[in-house]
Structure 1
Amino acid sequence: MKYRILLISLILLVYSLTASLPAGYTAKGNPELYKELKTKAEKNIGKLDKSTRKEYSKLLKAHDDILMSYLIAYEEDAILQISQPTDVLSNYQQIRELLDNREFDYSPQFFLSYIAQQTVTDERIQAYRKAMLADGLGDIMRENTDEMELYREVCKWCLERLVFLPTSGRDQSPLDISQKSFLGRCEEMQILFVAAARTVGLPARPASAPWWAHIDNNHAWAEVWLEDAWHYTGDMDAAYYPDQTWFSGLIDKTVLILARGSIASESDEILNTGRYQTVINSTPNYAKERIRHLSILVLDDQGDPVSNAVLGILVYNWGALRPLTFVTTNENGVFYLSVGRGAFYVSAFKDGRHALKSVPSGEETDISVILSLSSEDLAEQNEILDYPSNPFEWKTAPQSWDDDVAAIRKRIEARDAFFAKRAIPPIINATASDSLYWNVASASRANYLEYKLFASRCKPVDESFLQYLLAGDPKDLWQMTADQFEALYGFFHSQKTDELSQEELQALISPGVYYEELPQPWSGKRNTLLLYPKSFVHKGGSDLQRLRKANKWMNRRYRTKAGESLSGLIPLHIAANRKYLSPIQKRIMAVSLARANSIPAGFTRLPNVISVLIDGEWEYWDISKAEIWNGGGEEQSGNCFIKVNIFDENELPLDIDASQLMMTRWEDGMFYSLNYR
């Protein structure tokens, strides 16, 4: 009987994989789209290492259709490189089942972009669809045929699996969130909801205000397609009604709200289209009749239109003008876009000439801005920026929704209490080291078994390392494997950390640099695990000598060449085996290289520049020249002193702390922060 059941299961599996796709997803039924995506997919795996490329080629051959081609064509090749092809296959199978079991009245392009797309932002690909269906989404999908009810049940499912907590920039995957940490910042709320919605067949996409215009910070959330329109959703506990969240009354203060898709749609306002994604201006979906239509014209010093000038839409945030997006002028020197009612700046740049102009808040429907490029320094500007509010009526959810949310909150409290209970040593007369061990166990949350396995291999674990783990990035505790814990511990042990501040310690020991995935360890002697390969470590009599020697080695070993590197961010174990790196990948490697040579270092957004701690002082380091950065001048500059006077709107002097001052450098139409770290 058991074998008969197994045989039936196998037959059903084969049937599900051989059932025909709808015609719009086949080569025969949609030949133009098939050819476009198949060509793009084959090109996209061209820079992967040989073994990984071979596995993806097998997928394309075995599943020669539009769906598989799309899944491989529209993921960054860097993400494909760090992911498992078997996970892509699993997601493909779940999407096919979705198409088999439900009818969708969407174009193939729309379905692919907003339901089939695997990643949401920069997280790695996992076989999350199958796992999340087994974790309750399958029942939700079967029990709710109305799209609004399906949306609400998905919101409650997400609410139970993520509690908001500000975290570092590296994104957790949907399964990291829903199976390990149950915590995350706004972008991880976005990742979880969009992944869950797509899994049950609801079109969804990420949206964001890269920087708020009216307050210091940014925000990310999700948009979902309901009743033939895009709607936004934010706080899952208040999501009964779409288009209702904490910022709903602040819409008029915004300048741009951006959404991301892959295959562009003519109905969207497209700001720019790249190799993998399309940046969509979603502001009209929020401001509606209060939208403003902006026309930007760029002229040269002769008054002639400038085509292909780079335009930046900038808002004031954290003491500096921050870019929301960059676009380029058309052949007539013009760019058109929709904006909200908040005040902002427009920058323009081309061939060493630039311009900057403010756009005040207002209720007018149409705005025209003319920018004249010049090589002169920017003119002094003194502006008061206004941000209007808008009326919004908060709708009360039914009591049944509030009761469900309250029950979910109780389950969350019980889960957190279970994790917190681990912090209490299960032994009598526990030592300080015992207490630290169990505090880390508690902070590891559902990743505890990986931490426990590491500790069993390396016991007793030094108290100083446990203290570092507790003070460091909690995301490391949620995501690291036992091998990664062990490699990090070995590196920590090899360094002199007693005289370092907590900030300096993090800049030396942290396994992550920017937003890239954590690296896999290298094998050392006697089965030891290493955080860095031996080739990274260089000898020298001083920090400066070691850093310069290591930097020159990196520049000989790795090249920066447009079009030859993988796109996106890659962890160190992938980067170390590449010949070509992108500029940002090389800066990430340079930080790791400095740390491998016992020099605390950090990533900066300045081209070719990282920050390093040399002889107790933070310095900017030019990785292209392997020397301390001189600010971009031809000659090494000396120290200078800047006196800053700050006044309020009534010209009365203000007494503020130096930490509230932001020093920036204007270069190529963009402001770069010069504040150390």
Structure 2
Amino acid sequence: MRKLLLSLLFVLAAINAARAGYYHFISDDKYRAQVHNDFNKKMQLVGKNFFKITQTTPTVAEQEALEFLYAYMPLADVTDYTTDFYLSNVKSAFKAREEMPWGKAVPELLFRHFVLPIRVNNENLDNTRAVLYDELKKRIEGMSMTEAVLELNHWCHEHVTYQPSNARTLAPLACLKTAIGRCGEESTFAVAVLRTMGIPARQVYTPRWAHTDDNHAWVEAWADGKWHFLGACEPEPVLNLGWFNLPASRAMLMHTKAFGNYRGPEEVMLRTSNYTEINLIGNYAPTARIDFMVVDAAGKAVDKAQVEFKIYNYAEYYTAVNKFTDNRGRTFLTAGVGDMMVWASKNGAYGFAKASFGKDKNVTIRLTHNAKTMAKSMVGALDSVNIVPPVESAKLPEVTPQQAQANKARLVKEDSIRHAYEATFYKPTGDGLAEKYYKLARGNWKTIQQFVNNHPDKQERVLALLETLPVKDLHDMPLEILEDHFGAQSNQLSPRVEDEMIIAPYKQAFQVAFNQSLADSMRANPAVLVNWVKRNIRLNPDTKALRIAQTPMGVWRSRLTDTRSRDIFFVSMARSLGIESRKDAITGKVQYKRDGAWVDVDFDNASQQTAPTGVLKLTYQPASLLPADPKYYSHFSLSKIVDGRAQLLNFDEGDGNDNEGTTWANTFKNGYSLDAGTYLLVTGTRLANGGVLVTQRFFNIAPGKTTEVALKMRRPSGQLNVLGNFDSESRFLKDGQEVSILSQTGRGYYTLALLGIGEEPTNHALRDLAKARATLDEWGRPFVLLFPNEADLQRFKKENFGTLPANIILGIDTDGKIRQQVANAMKLANPSQMPVFIVADTFNRVVFCSQGYTIGMGEQLEKVAKMLETGK
């Protein structure tokens, strides 16, 4: 009896200890010891003063969880947020594990790496878990884990919908406040929501599509023993279904960054001190592996060579994955069955080769190029490359018509809830110069209005500060930041240097950071500030560490940073002292202005001076089926070779409206000044099947000289072929009446589009039509845009997509009859995948067809129009 009582007491004590947190968060002794050791190393690097708990003493488990987070978080997260903030989030994560019915079923590995971590992308961190927990818990009460994942995505759609924007990622609560986000923000938001409920979740990226110019992010969630995928804020009736199933089957790579030293079953692409990058392409598409060997000019294996796996996209070879060779000069990659350019470099030497996954088994890259060899010729030979993307091979889960209809009805209701919230945003009255900022600020408009109202006697300075802000900054800019910059003595008003976090005021503190004598000497000669930064700001010796930008105050307090945050800190400090400074948007160079001229900042040299420059002049001969004025990012790009790597020059891409962005004619036709050095010019002609006809050429810019380079684009061969037949007498509903396509278009060619309103592929396609409006209007042929029902037609607002071609005809494809006819004629594997565009004539011949997610739809239709006009 006594033994039984003692056993019961022991069990009760164990239960109470577990509830109190007197258990190990990390059960593996060896792994726990490694985490503790990594935590101590981080504290030695940063300083123990950045790990301070003032609220409450953590339990054993909470302390271990904190050590895990601190051991692997980037410098910015250590220096810019308090330990109490992280402890609060740890407690929230543990609370979800304790209270949610699936909490104990989530494996320790997955909870540690995909529930506990707060950071998802490059967003500002916030209190999403504490703010949303009770509301979300009530929403999914009584549901299974799979049901909860689906329901939480409906909740996300109720609050946030897609809208493109710049690359900075809004924090989850800021995204909630503004009700919109690009795919990276929607997926960050959805991951945060799922983790709040104790559900393992991760953001999945295809860094760039292989068959079209763009990228995409979505979510994988672990439920009932398996990982599933879903479109963030784009709920479907079942998991493993999204508009991107088909394009994902044509992708070359998908990856995610697992926080910390992750030891899961997936293929590891890169392991750093902050994250483990894992390869997920096998979840979506057929794959193949290639083994790579990197050798020097003499054929000797190169250890620790950086190997960049590049996907052609936006007219450049974009680095999707970085890897490093082992001591035998070897590495490998598993990817989709298509083509990549693979670039290897070390100590300024570099080489590259095309790799065809599914065909090549082994590829050797020789580092035969360097600054000396490339300087021998001002303009190198033109090289042509054919890039072939993977073919479509998606398998879709089954969805019954009843499920699809019920889900669509939910989406309409959720749209109405979100629209009701958006109706609380500022409504212009036509009174006041600041009104446009209130409207642009969306859910943050009261903050902007408060700032304006705080300074009725200094409206000129108020408006000048607001004018410096990108639109997205108006969505989440805190009042204290605006007031800090407004109240500072400096007239360098902009708070932003690049896409960094702006969460802590600094300008008024920095203006008195130095004694008067030193500050005056810095203003007189900003090189003094450069030297101060060199002497006083340490660089993180881990050059592979994740470079989330620290706030300037974080750098100031820690005196430890990376090169990116150092650059931001320098510009911020210079502006605080009244020194005009910037990080050049095109080249990324840090500069200050002295005597009316920009001076390049070089932290590695004692003297500061402007780099020698020359002039690049591109020549171009338009031809049929080629653009009259090639566009940067669409048809060509330039990269500077720096230490053996290609660094893209980030010219203005335009906004699709009045600002057309950088083109050959407006920037390079008459010459453009560039720093001296070696450059790579890439051009590409995207084909309808997603393939690309690429040219590439190296050239040099010499100081004080003009280099003339021919911008060569390859013409697609062949003529338009008849792909199938479509009955031009097919009938649709227009203004309540049944009409035939022929009766609306007249004789000749027309474009027919079957649209899925509110879906990202359709949104992209319509925006692309707007970009090509001038040419398509000149063509003069009609565009028949058909929607699946009256509700979707009513949701369609032309003004949301720019100015569409003039000859637009809107209608309803009653019962999906036209969609099914097109699917049968074109042998489409998935008739429900939208949008579908065809170009046909009234003799029932189809000469062009495109389905699903395709960037550049307007440009493709321009080519078709030209071929139909010229007959070739």
Place the TM-score, normalised by the shorter chain, in its bin.
Answer: 0.7 to 0.9
- SS of the residue 1:265 aligns to: coil
Question: Which residue of 2 is the match for residue 633 of structure 1?
Answer: none
In structure 2, what residue type is equivalent to 1:602?
K
Alpha-carbon distance in 1 for matches of 2:300, 2:228: 42
Question: Which residue of 1 is the match for residue 854 of structure 2?
Answer: none
Question: Which residue of 2 is the match for residue 420 of structure 1?
Answer: 426
Alpha-carbon distance in 2 for matches of 1:618, 1:675: 18
The answer to which structure has the higher helix fraction is 1
Question: Which residue of 1 is the match for residue 487 of structure 2?
Answer: 490
Residues 88-107 of structure 1: pairs in structure 2 closer than 5 A: 88-101=86-99, 102=101, 103-107=103-107
Alpha-carbon distance in 2 for matches of 1:45, 1:121: 23
Question: Which residue of 2 is the match for residue 143 of structure 1?
Answer: 142
Q: 266-275 vs 161-170, which deviates more?
A: 161-170
Alpha-carbon distance in 1 for matches of 2:622, 2:231: 38
CA drift at 1:17? 9.6
In structure 2, what residue type is equivalent to 1:476?
D
Tell me: CA distance 1:270–1:391, structure 2 relative to 1, closer, same or farther (3 Å). closer
Q: Is the 8 A contact 1:162 1:189 kept in 2?
A: yes
Question: Which residue of 1 is the match for residue 558 of structure 2?
Answer: 578
Alpha-carbon distance in 2 for matches of 1:510, 1:109: 43
Question: Which residue of 2 is the match for residue 187 of structure 1?
Answer: 184
* Matching of residue 118 in structure 1 with residue 118 in structure 2: yes
- SS of the residue 2:426 aligns to: helix
CA drift at 1:122? 2.7
Q: Is the 8 A contact 2:567 2:583 kept in 1?
A: no
- SS of the residue 1:662 aligns to: strand
Structure 1 unmatched runs, 5+: 1-14, 496-507, 524-528, 631-636
Alpha-carbon distance in 2 for matches of 1:189, 1:490: 35
Q: Is the 8 A contact 1:447 1:478 kept in 2?
A: yes
- Structure whose alpha-carbon radius of gyration is higher: 2
Q: Is the 8 A contact 2:270 2:276 kept in 1?
A: yes
Alpha-carbon distance in 2 for matches of 1:154, 1:31: 36
* Matching of residue 53 in structure 1 with residue 51 in structure 2: yes
CA deviation vs aligned residue, 1:218-240 (integer Å, no higher than 9, x gap): 32222222353333222523433
Question: Which residue of 1 is the match for residue 302 of structure 2?
Answer: 306
Alpha-carbon distance in 2 for matches of 1:561, 1:151: 39
CA drift at 1:402? 1.7
In structure 2, what residue type is equivalent to 1:87?
F
Selected match of 1:670 from 645, 669, 682 = 645
Question: Which residue of 2 is the match for residue 521 of structure 1?
Answer: 505
Structure 2 unmatched runs, 5+: 1-14, 375-379, 653-872
- SS of the residue 1:256 aligns to: coil
CA deviation vs aligned residue, 1:175-213 (integer Å, no higher than 9, x gap): 2222x3222222111111111111112211121122333
Selected match of 2:537 from 544, 555, 558 = 558
In structure 2, what residue type is equivalent to 1:656?
P
Alpha-carbon distance in 1 for matches of 2:467, 2:228: 39
Alpha-carbon distance in 1 for matches of 2:645, 2:211: 20
Alpha-carbon distance in 1 for matches of 2:627, 2:413: 53
Question: Which residue of 1 is the match for residue 386 of structure 2?
Answer: 384
Alpha-carbon distance in 2 for matches of 1:629, 1:292: 47
Question: Which residue of 1 is the match for residue 240 of structure 2?
Answer: 243
* Matching of residue 406 in structure 1 with residue 412 in structure 2: yes
CA deviation vs aligned residue, 1:331-389 (integer Å, no higher than 9, x gap): 332212211123210011123322111124x654x632111222444975311222244
Tell me: CA distance 1:189–1:374, structure 2 relative to 1, closer, same or farther (3 Å). same
* Matching of residue 317 in structure 1 with residue 306 in structure 2: no
Question: Which residue of 1 is the match for residue 334 of structure 2?
Answer: 338
CA drift at 1:279? 0.4
Q: Is the 8 A contact 2:234 2:242 kept in 1?
A: no
CA drift at 1:406? 0.9
Selected match of 1:599 from 580, 596, 599 = 580
In structure 1, what residue type is equivalent to 2:131?
A
Selected match of 2:494 from 485, 510, 522 = 510
Q: Is the 8 A contact 1:156 1:236 kept in 2?
A: yes
TM-score of the superposition, structure 1-length normalised?
A: 0.80
CA drift at 1:622? 3.3
- SS of the residue 1:590 aligns to: helix
* Matching of residue 639 in structure 1 with residue 614 in structure 2: yes
CA drift at 1:309? 1.9
Question: Which residue of 2 is the match for residue 368 of structure 1?
Answer: 362
Tell me: CA distance 1:471–1:302, structure 2 relative to 1, closer, same or farther (3 Å). closer
Tell me: CA distance 1:58–1:169, structure 2 relative to 1, closer, same or farther (3 Å). farther
CA drift at 1:243? 3.0
Alpha-carbon distance in 2 for matches of 1:389, 1:649: 28
Alpha-carbon distance in 1 for matches of 2:365, 2:499: 35
Tell me: CA distance 1:48–1:175, structure 2 relative to 1, closer, same or farther (3 Å). farther
Question: Which residue of 2 is the match for residue 9 of structure 1?
Answer: none
Alpha-carbon distance in 1 for matches of 2:236, 2:587: 40
Question: Which residue of 2 is the match for residue 4 of structure 1?
Answer: none
CA drift at 1:546? 4.3
In structure 1, what residue type is equivalent to 2:583?
G
CA drift at 1:654? 6.1
CA drift at 1:46? 3.8
- SS of the residue 1:419 aligns to: coil
Q: Is the 8 A contact 2:309 2:342 kept in 1?
A: yes
The answer to which structure has the higher strand fraction is 2
CA deviation vs aligned residue, 1:450-509 (integer Å, no higher than 9, x gap): 334434432245156336526732333233332211122235x853xxxxxxxxxxxx53
Q: Is the 8 A contact 1:47 1:77 kept in 2?
A: no
CA drift at 1:569? 1.9
In structure 2, what residue type is equivalent to 1:408?
E
- SS of the residue 1:418 aligns to: coil
Question: Which residue of 2 is the match for residue 33 of structure 1?
Answer: 31
CA deviation vs aligned residue, 1:296-334 (integer Å, no higher than 9, x gap): 122233434333221110122333222111101223322
Selected match of 1:326 from 314, 322, 325 = 322
Tell me: CA distance 1:99–1:323, structure 2 relative to 1, closer, same or farther (3 Å). same
Q: 443-452 vs 251-260, which deviates more?
A: 443-452
Alpha-carbon distance in 2 for matches of 1:480, 1:266: 38
Please provide the CA RMSD for this pair.
3.7
Question: Which residue of 1 is the match for residue 210 of structure 2?
Answer: 213
- SS of the residue 1:347 aligns to: strand
In structure 2, what residue type is equivalent to 1:138?
K
CA drift at 1:157? 1.2
In structure 2, what residue type is equivalent to 1:336?
F
Selected match of 2:476 from 470, 479, 502 = 479
Tell me: CA distance 1:265–1:556, structure 2 relative to 1, closer, same or farther (3 Å). closer
TM-score of the superposition, structure 2-length normalised?
A: 0.64
Q: Is the 8 A contact 2:75 2:561 kept in 1?
A: no
* Percent of aligned pairs sharing the same letter: 20
CA drift at 1:117? 1.6
Alpha-carbon distance in 1 for matches of 2:636, 2:48: 50
- SS of the residue 2:530 aligns to: helix
- SS of the residue 1:411 aligns to: helix
Tell me: CA distance 1:412–1:638, structure 2 relative to 1, closer, same or farther (3 Å). closer
Tell me: CA distance 1:340–1:561, structure 2 relative to 1, closer, same or farther (3 Å). closer
Residues 44-83 of structure 1: pairs in structure 2 closer than 5 A: 44-48=42-46, 51-55=49-53, 66-83=64-81
Alpha-carbon distance in 2 for matches of 1:417, 1:581: 43
Alpha-carbon distance in 2 for matches of 1:644, 1:472: 36
